[in-house]
Amino acid sequence: MTNVQPSTEPAVDDSTVGIATALRETGKKPRSPWRMMLPTMTPWLALGLFLVLGIMLFGAIGPYFTGDPNAIRDSGLQPPSPEHLLGTTQTGQDVLAQLAIATRGSLVIGFLVGILATILSAIFGILGAYLGGFADEAFSLFSNVFLVIPGLPLVIVISGFVPREARGLWTIAVVLAITGWAASARVLRAQTLSLRSRDYVAASRVAGERPWRVIAVEILPNLLPVLASQFVFAVIAAILGEAGLSFLGLGASNSSTLGTMLFYAQNGFALNLGAWWWFGPPGLIIALFGMGLSLINFSIDEIINPKLKNVRLHRKRERHARRMERGKATA
């Protein structure tokens, strides 16, 4: 009874007919509903996956091969060399070793915030919209309150009130998640209100299905692409937000992240001294990881937006027609 097609159903027009014709012409079987929830592999998606998986692999296993990031040496502010591939800091610490452990810390915070923010947005967006009535009004009001509060000032205020010794990875993750779920909850609420009126959901409710089963089996599969896109966006925002907090001295005090590397580089006058190898690599890792996640998010958008999917299928049909014409001309 579950409908796993995208929540926005395009009208049956010439483009939809053209898609069906393209599938018949290519001789390929239509993809299964579950396969339709996965993005189509494109060069941009492949590049995004390569960047994200490469940085995750570097953060996961890099600290085991780069040595002690806290070891102090006499060679301070040395440029990259065969001994130190990314140079050293002002106190002689290896930048590559610090970069590996800082990447791991930023990834942990990013994925923690992504999970927590997605769960909060699902609770206040999906559950409230399905229950309706007072629950929907209360959840919607709560979401609107958090939506109009400026995010960065609120994060700074909350982090400033937390004692420095208590500011760990989990504390920063919770602070960022609390301030980053409201916009996603509004999108999920609108999608759930549309799905709640579908025939298959109404049939499940008339059949006496429990509310949790209707949400988990009938509604949630249709929202998986939206949830995936929001999770990716939350990870990007969390890494950037943590870097901003750490740069201001409000980050995690007992752990190393890319933001803390930038903080110590700024305090060590790395920019004034021309020590680009100290502040350049962490900034580049943040930029490349954000770029990779953005490319993945654009590919997921093709599932959420049926118009983009139609465009891609039209292009496939045109390429197939050109190949057929070239084959006939050659014959």
How far is it between the farthest Cα atoms of the chain?
78
Hunting for tokens 């997921």 — which residue is that? 300
Alpha carbon 317 to its chain centroid, in Å, reads 31
Contact 223, 190 (CB under 8 A): no
Q: Is the pLDDT of residue 174 over 60?
A: yes
More confident residue, 64 or 11: 64
Question: Helix, strand or coil for residue 181?
Answer: coil
Instruction: Give the pLDDT mean for 119-133.
Output: 88
Cα separations in angstroms, 307 against 1, 107, 180, 238, 301: 25, 33, 28, 30, 10
At residue 304, the pLDDT reads 67
At residue 39, the pLDDT reads 63
Cα separations in angstroms, 308 against 32, 38, 40, 206, 270: 19, 14, 11, 35, 45
Q: What is the pTM of this model?
A: 0.77
Contact 225, 304 (CB under 8 A): yes
Q: Which of 36-40, 55-59, 104-108, 242-246 has the lowest mean pLDDT?
A: 36-40
Q: Is the pLDDT of residue 165 over 60?
A: yes
Q: Is the pLDDT of residue 31 over 60?
A: no
Average pLDDT along the chain = 80
At residue 314, the pLDDT reads 66
Q: Which of 10-24, 221-235, 307-321 has the lowest mean pLDDT?
A: 10-24
